[in-house]
């Protein structure tokens, strides 16, 4: 493994946990992060346990990946880069389009431009992609075999029909685990930007003789996750609602599923890519390979918090949301030896135990819904 590691977005949920693990291994860690108020609050020294966990332990640079000067300062002397910095959230990306493009694609372009045109010591780049690049993922049609449904139609969902359909015969299809060679067809601006980040890094680094690895993370959760961001992280959003005594509005019919992967497993998978030569030039799904529906999420959280709150399956929906996605993780298992250590129940127990010790922020979920309503994205 390399000695000096730069983590962009290293004060965030995934980045801070990776930083702490690398510090434990005796590496020198530099973090470039803008301490976004949406994640860290207005006073990170007081309101961000993520930032406090790495403060005074890493070489911290408060700056933006959209600034060439900040990149120059951050890259100096680094042997490897873990590029996590990005605007996140599929819903928000559909109306803050310029911001997502500038940060996710533009910031990555500046990094690659500097790697191509300046003197540096960087030998490896690990880039965070997302399961969002798959859009609806892989399905099985009884008539046409493996298919990749396009985004669901407003006219269907408005009638309570949330199922994915075969793009050929339009019959309902069954979800399959998504492999890395599945069709890439994101249904949100966020997904498009993550696809571009991955492609740019793998393409440019190869031409420069720099090793590159792409990680397509599923739904990451665990202690330390921001409880104040109403745009990302269903477990955090639901937890903040429950702890504030508010009910949960479950979209669609509640049977939509996600692959929830615990933060420790994500950290271990990412470091494997940093360490192992076998990962060079490859992309990997990082998940558990298990699909969990939203009703189960709400019921499990309610059980662990010992709170009886109203749970409403409303039939509301967001345009651009996917129905299902869970990962096939056979590639990362066979090539890097990755094996998830955390089941959903075990992870939720650890997460809720941590939440119970936190000061719970104001619930801003309804404000985020109003924003989407005003943009015509919430029905």
List residues with catalytic annotation.
Answer: 190
Whole-number percent of the chain with pLDDT over 70: 99
In a domain, 248, yes or no: yes
The pLDDT score that the predictor gives to residue 344 is: 95
Q: Are residues 242 and 154 in the same domain?
A: no
Predicted pLDDT of residue 195: 97
Lowest mean pLDDT among 8-22, 67-81, 96-110, 349-363: 349-363
- Looking at the fold, whether 115 and 168 belong to one and the same domain comes out as no
Structure tokens at 276: 């192992």
Q: Are residues 147 and 223 in the same domain?
A: no
User: Does the residue 235 lie in any domain?
Assistant: yes
| Structural domains counted in the chain | 2
Mean pLDDT (the chain) is 93
Q: Would you say residue 287 lies in a domain? A: yes
**Is 273 or 89 the better-scoring residue by pLDDT?**
273
> Are 159 and 231 members of one domain?
no
User: pLDDT digits over 214-258, tens only?
Assistant: 999 999 999 988 887 766 688 989 999 998 888 899 999 999 999
Domain CATH for 35: 3.40.50.720
Mean pLDDT, residues 10-16 taken together? 96
Q: Does 231 share its domain with 352? A: yes
One domain for residues 245 and 368: yes
Q: What pLDDT, on a 0 to 100 scale, did the predictor assign at position 1?
A: 52
Give me the percent of the chain exceeding a pLDDT of 90.
79
Same structural domain for residues 144 and 44?
no
Domain that holds residue 206: 4-138+177-374
pLDDT digits (tens, 9 = 90+) for 121-173: 999 999 999 999 999 999 999 999 999 999 899 999 999 999 999 999 999 99
> Both 171 and 244 in a single domain?
no
Out of 122, 150, 176, a domain closes at 176
218 and 232 co-located in one domain = yes
pLDDT of residue 374: 85
Residue 202 domain flag: yes
- What pLDDT is recorded for position 143? 97
pLDDT score for 377? 75
pLDDT above 70 (res 119): yes
Last residue of a domain, one of 176, 201, 230: 176
Q: What is the pLDDT of residue 281?
A: 98
Q: What is the mean pLDDT of residues 194-206?
A: 98
Whether residue 320 is predicted with pLDDT greater than 80 in this model: the reply is no
- Asked if pLDDT for residue 345 goes beyond 70, the answer is yes
Does 226 lie in the same domain as 112? yes
Do the domain assignments include residue 379? no
Average pLDDT over residues 97-104: 97
- The reported pLDDT for the residue numbered 372 is 76
The answer on 84 and 105 residing in a single domain is: yes
Listed residues 116, 147, 176: the one ending a domain: 176
Whether 229 and 363 share a structural domain? yes
Compute the average pLDDT of residues 260-279: 97
């Amino acid at each position: 493994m390399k000695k000096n590691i730069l983590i962009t977005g290293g004060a965030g949920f995934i980045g801070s946990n990776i930083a702490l693990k690398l510090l434990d291994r005796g590496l020198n860690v530099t973090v470039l992060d803008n301490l976004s108020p949406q994640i860290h609050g207005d006073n990170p020294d007081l309101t961000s346990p993520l930032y406090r966990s790495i403060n005074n332990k890493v070489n911290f640079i408060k700056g933006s990946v959209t600034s060439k000067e900040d990149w120059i300062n951050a890259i100096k002397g680094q042997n490897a880069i873990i590029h996590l910095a990005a605007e996140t959230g599929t819903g928000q990306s559909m109306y803050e389009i310029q911001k997502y493009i500038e940060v996710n694609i533009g910031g990555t372009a500046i990094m690659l431009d500097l790697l191509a045109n300046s003197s540096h010591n960087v030998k490896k780049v690990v880039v965070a992609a997302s399961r969002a690049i798959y859009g609806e993922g892989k399905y099985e049609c009884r008539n046409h075999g493996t298919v990749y449904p396009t985004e669901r139609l407003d006219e269907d969902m408005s009638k309570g029909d949330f199922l994915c359909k075969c793009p050929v015969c339009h019959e309902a299809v069954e979800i399959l685990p998504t492999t890395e060679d599945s069709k890439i067809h994101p249904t949100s601006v966020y997904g498009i930007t993550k696809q571009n980040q991955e492609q740019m890094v793998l393409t440019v680094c190869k031409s420069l003789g720099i090793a590159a690895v792409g990680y397509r993370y599923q739904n990451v959760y665990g202690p330390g996750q921001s409880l104040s961001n109403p745009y990302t992280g269903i477990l955090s959003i639901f937890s903040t609602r429950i702890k504030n005594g508010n009910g949960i509005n479950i979209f669609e019919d509640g049977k939509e599923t996600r692959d929830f992967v615990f933060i420790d497993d994500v950290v271990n998978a990412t470091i494997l890519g940093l360490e192992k030569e076998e990962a060079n030039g490859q992309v990997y799904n990082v998940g558990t390979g298990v699909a969990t529906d939203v009703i189960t999420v709400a019921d499990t959280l309610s059980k662990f918090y010992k709170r009886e709150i109203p749970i409403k399956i409303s039939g509301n929906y967001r345009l651009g949301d996917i129905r299902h996605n869970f990962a096939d993780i056979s590639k990362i298992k066979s090539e890097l030896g990755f094996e998830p250590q955390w089941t959903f129940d075990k992870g939720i127990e650890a997460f809720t135990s941590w939440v119970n010790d936190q000061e719970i922020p104001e619930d801003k979920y309804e404000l985020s819904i109003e924003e989407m309503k005003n943009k015509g994205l919430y029905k």
